[in-house]
Amino acid sequence: MIKKPYLLFLGDAHDRLAAKVAIGINDWRPQYAVGQIRLARCNADLGIDEISIAEAVERGAKTMVIGVANRGGVISEGWKPHLLEALEAGMDLASGLHVLLNDQPDLVDMARKHGRKLFDVRKPNVDYPIADGQKRSGKRCVAVGTDVSVGKMYVSLALHQEMLARGMKTAFRATGQTGILVEGDGVPLDAVVADFMAGSIEYLSPAQDDDHWDFIEGQGSLFHASYSGVTLSIIHGGQPDALILCHEPTREFMRGLPGYKLPSLEALRDLSLTMAKVVNPDCKVAGISLNTRNMEESEARKVVDETEQRMGLPTTDPVRFGVGKIVDSLLAI
């Protein structure tokens, strides 16, 4: 478990997208972000206090999170003095980069010297079991998409937040780098070995009280040739009671797969339910989440209404219109 709160390190992020990990943390857990560090030529800005490492420690920061990704996922030499300083000042480091903190001898030495920890969230640090398919108590919700990057993590975090606001028992279960850094814990599923994928999801989402909802972060898509196996292992390891269908209405082709058209929401519903019913015959679709970022407000309203009518399911864009009605739908399950 990564200790909070965080100092968010943006390095020399050349644009906003490069800092998406830091943005995700600050959007979803602003209470964890005591401030940001931006180096020269940094073009991303979270709009929170720019502070020094010493100030971060004064404000109680326990971990400096590398909230930036660069080409190749390497640890830039220009960042090193700051990383070393953070360790020296008493903070742990956390990173979702491909290149590992734990493979940097200077960081490893400094961490050892000061009794600090280096968290590489891209690397599993648990021996996950093989899934046993045993029914677990508690409720589980999995977001599935017509494609990758259609807002599965976002709607899950929003539903979790809405349930918290209503005083309900709930947890967000992260399966990707950003989600893990947002939550401070989780399974880096894309780096788990094939035989243990579904088992890692069972491990991530153990038995709970009957009125507790786990929101398991989705990955990939059953229709995306590159990652569909990862998606299916979440559905079969997650034993969902409810599915949320996610879609980006303006997208025509699958991301990274030129020539592959997106499936319909109907096809997504049918295939996802068929798969979920293998492990939970009572699974239902609770609602639809549309990512309308590329649309005008009026157009977004229209596509949400039309989709809701056509599919007969509560439909929303979590960012624009909130997720209240999907939580109502979950509670009716």
Confirm or reject binding of residue 225 to a second copy (CB under 8 A): yes
Q: Closest by alpha carbon to 47, among 59, 58, 55, 35?
A: 35
Distances (CA, A) of 299 to 235, 251, 252, 309: 32, 15, 17, 15
Residue ranges in 6-35 that form contacts with a second copy under rule CB under 8 A:
none
Confirm or reject binding of residue 227 to a second copy (CB under 8 A): yes
Taking the complex as a whole, how short is the minimal distance between the CB of residue 12 and a second copy, in angstroms? 27
Taking the complex as a whole, how short is the minimal distance between the CB of residue 271 and a second copy, in angstroms? 6
Cβ–Cβ < 8 Å for 181, 94: yes
Cβ–Cβ < 8 Å for 7, 91: yes
Residue with tokens 């649309």: 295
Select from 15-23, 37-45, 193-201, 319-327 the region that touches a second copy (CB under 8 A).
193-201
Residue ranges in 266-285 that form contacts with a second copy under rule CB under 8 A:
271, 274-275, 278-279
| DSSP state, residue 196 | G
Confirm or reject binding of residue 186 to a second copy (CB under 8 A): no
Confirm or reject binding of residue 264 to a second copy (CB under 8 A): no
Residue 269 DSSP SS3: helix
Of the residues 50, 80, 207, 226, which one makes contact with a second copy according to CB under 8 A: 226
Confirm or reject binding of residue 206 to a second copy (CB under 8 A): no
Of the residues 228, 250, 294, 309, which one makes contact with a second copy according to CB under 8 A: 228
Q: What are phi and psi of 239, to 5 degrees?
A: 45, 55
Of the residues 20, 56, 223, 304, which one makes contact with a second copy according to CB under 8 A: 223
Q: Closest by alpha carbon to 216, among 138, 126, 293, 304?
A: 138
Of the residues 65, 94, 131, 295, which one makes contact with a second copy according to CB under 8 A: 131
Both tokens assigned to 219: 């990955």
Cis peptide before 5 (omega within 30 of 0): yes
User: Which residues bind to a second copy, rule: CB under 8 A?
Assistant: 130-133, 189-195, 197-199, 222-223, 225-233, 236-237, 254, 256-257, 259-260, 263, 271, 274-275, 278-279
